[in-house]
C-alpha cells in the first residue's frame, strides 16, 4: 500500500513539474471526447432516420373498380405470400382520394376536386418489403413474365403497379451510401483520436526521457518506472474526460433539448439505442483507459536502456 501511495505522489509531482505537456494532453483528451460525443449521436440519429426512410419505401398494386370483395381478398393473400413482403394493406378509393388531398394540400385539392364528378382513383394495395433492397424483387414477383415473356400480373384484377414515391430507387441508393460514408468517417475519427492522444502523451514522456534513463541506470525495474506514468495517464484521462462530459452535458441542456421540439432530427436522438448517460459513461471510461494504456505503451521505448 505504501508503494501505491508513493506512485500516486510521484504521478502528481510529475504533473505539477511538467505542467505544459500535461495540460496539452488534457486539452487533447477534451477535444477528442467532445468530437466523439458529438459525432456518435449524429451517426446514430442519421442511421435511424436513414432506416426510417428506407422502411417507408413501398409500391402500390391498383385493382379494377369492378373487382369483387372475394377477388380483392384473394389478391391480398397472394401478395402476402410473396417472399420478402413485410406488410400488405388495402387502401380504399376514399382513402386513396384522401391521400391525394393530403399530398396536394387543401387549396390545390379543392381546385382539382371541383372539376371531378366522381372519384377516379382506384382502390389499391400498399406493399412494403422487409428491406428496401428487396423492393424491386417483390415488384417483379407481382408482375412475373408470362408465356410470351412479357410481364403479366398475378391476378386479372390488377390494373397497374405504381410507386407513390417516384424516387424510391434513388432514396435507397442515397441512404445506403450515407451509411457507408458515416461509418468510414466515424472509424477514421476514432483512429485519429487515438493517434492524437497517443502522440500527445508521447510528447509529454519525451520531455522526461532523461529522468527515465537515469532511473533505469540506477536499477529501477520497468514496472516501478511505468506505474507513475500510467497513474499520470489515468489522471489526465479523468480530468480531460470530466471536462469534456461537462461541456457535452451543457450543450445538451442549452442547445439540443430546447431545439428538439422544433427540429425533428434533434428529437430523433432521444430514441437512439445508445442513451446519453450510456454514451457519457463509455466516453469517460475510454478517455481514462486510452490515456493510461497510452502512457504505459509509449514509455516502453524509453525503458530500453
- For residues 220-248, b (16+ Cβ closer than 10 Å) or e, as one string? eeeeebbbbbbbbbbbbbbbbbbbbbeeb
Kindly state whether residues 181 and 297 are assigned to the same domain: yes
Number of domains in the chain: 2
The mean pLDDT of 27-37, rounded to a whole number, is: 83
Kindly state whether residues 24 and 109 are assigned to the same domain: no
When pLDDT is cut at 50, 70 and 90, the band that residue 40 belongs to is: confident
Q: What is the pLDDT of residue 106?
A: 67
Kindly state whether residues 177 and 266 are assigned to the same domain: yes
Residue-wise pLDDT for 199-235, tens only, equals 666 676 676 677 767 777 777 677 676 777 777 778 8
Kindly state whether residues 122 and 176 are assigned to the same domain: no
Residue of 36 and 203 predicted with greater confidence: 36
Q: CA 128 to CA 76: how far, in whole Å?
A: 13
| Strand partners for 158 | 63
Q: CA 122 to CA 206: how far, in whole Å?
A: 77
* pLDDT-wise least confident of 72-86, 149-163, 207-221: 207-221
Q: Kindly report the CATH number assigned to the domain that includes residue 159.
A: 3.30.70.3040
Q: Pick the closest to residue 164 from 89, 71, 66, 107 (CA basis).
A: 89
Helix-helix angle 222-251:2-17, to 10 degrees: 60
At which of 97, 131, 164 does a domain end? Answer: 164
- Rounded to two decimals, what is the model's pTM? 0.57
3-state secondary structure the chain: CHHHHHHHHHHHHHHHHCHHHHHHHHHHHHHHHHHHHHHHHHHHHHHHHHHHHHHHCCEEEEECCCCCHHHHHHHHHHHHCCCCEEEEEEECHHHHHHHHHHHHCHHHHHHHHCCCCCCCCCCEEEEEECCHHHHHHHHHHHCCECCCCCECCCCCCEEEEECCCCCHHHHHHHHHHHHHHHHHHHHHHHHHHHHHHHHHHHHHHHCCHHHHHHHHHCCCCHHHHHHHHHHHHHHHHHHHHHHHHHHHHHHHHHHHHHHHCCCHHHHHHHHCCCCHHHHHHHHHHHHHHHHHHHHHHHHHHHHCC
The mean pLDDT of 143-150, rounded to a whole number, is: 82
Q: CA 64 to CA 90: how far, in whole Å?
A: 13
At which of 140, 164, 188 does a domain end? Answer: 164
Residue that the C-alpha cell 483512429 belongs to: 191
Residue-wise pLDDT for 254-291, tens only, equals 877 776 665 555 555 555 566 778 888 888 888 888 77
Kindly state whether residues 24 and 78 are assigned to the same domain: no
At which of 112, 137, 164 does a domain end? Answer: 164
Half-sphere exposure of residue 150: CA atoms within 13 angstroms, side-chain side: 1
Kindly state whether residues 176 and 135 are assigned to the same domain: no
When pLDDT is cut at 50, 70 and 90, the band that residue 113 belongs to is: low
Is the pLDDT reported for residue 163 higher than 60?
Answer: yes
- The strands making up 59-63's β-sheet, listed across from edge to edge, are 85-91, 124-129, 59-63, 158-162
Domain boundaries, position 108:
58-164
Kindly state whether residues 140 and 206 are assigned to the same domain: no
Amino acid at each position: 500500500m505504501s508503494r501505491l501511495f508513493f506512485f500516486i505522489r510521484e504521478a502528481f509531482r510529475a504533473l505539477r513539474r511538467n505542467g505544459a505537456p500535461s495540460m496539452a494532453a488534457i486539452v487533447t483528451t477534451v477535444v477528442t471526447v467532445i468530437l466523439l460525443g458529438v459525432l456518435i449521436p449524429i451517426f446514430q440519429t442519421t442511421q435511424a432516420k436513414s432506416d426510417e426512410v428506407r422502411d417507408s419505401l413501398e409500391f402500390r398494386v391498383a385493382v379494377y373498380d369492378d373487382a369483387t370483395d372475394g377477388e380483392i381478398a384473394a389478391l391480398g393473400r397472394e401478395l402476402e405470400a410473396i417472399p420478402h413482403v413485410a406488410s400488405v394493406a388495402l387502401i380504399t378509393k376514399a382513402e386513396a382520394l384522401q391521400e391525394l388531398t393530403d399530398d396536394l394540400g387543401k387549396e390545390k385539392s379543392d381546385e382539382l376536386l371541383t372539376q371531378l364528378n366522381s372519384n377516379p382513383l382506384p382502390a389499391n394495395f400498399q406493399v412494403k418489403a422487409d428491406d428496401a433492397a428487396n423492393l424491386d424483387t417483390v415488384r417483379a414477383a407481382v408482375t412475373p413474365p408470362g408465356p410470351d415473356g412479357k410481364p403479366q400480373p398475378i391476378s386479372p384484377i390488377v390494373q397497374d403497379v405504381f410507386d407513390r414515391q417516384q424516387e424510391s430507387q434513388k432514396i435507397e441508393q442515397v441512404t445506403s451510401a450515407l451509411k457507408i460514408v458515416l461509418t468510414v468517417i466515424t472509424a477514421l475519427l476514432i483512429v485519429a483520436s487515438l493517434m492524437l492522444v497517443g502522440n500527445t502523451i508521447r510528447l509529454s514522456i519525451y520531455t522526461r526521457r532523461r529522468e527515465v534513463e537515469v532511473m533505469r541506470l540506477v536499477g529501477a525495474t520497468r514496472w516501478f518506472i511505468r506505474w507513475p506514468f500510467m497513474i499520470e495517464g489515468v489522471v489526465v484521462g479523468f480530468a480531460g474526460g470530466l471536462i469534456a462530459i461537462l461541456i457535452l452535458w451543457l450543450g445538451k441542456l442549452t442547445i439540443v433539448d430546447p431545439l428538439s421540439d422544433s427540429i425533428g432530427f434533434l428529437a430523433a436522438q432521444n430514441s437512439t439505442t445508445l442513451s446519453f448517460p450510456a454514451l457519457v459513461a463509455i466516453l469517460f471510461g475510454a478517455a481514462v483507459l486510452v490515456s493510461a494504456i497510452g502512457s504505459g505503451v509509449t514509455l516502453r521505448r524509453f525503458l530500453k536502456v
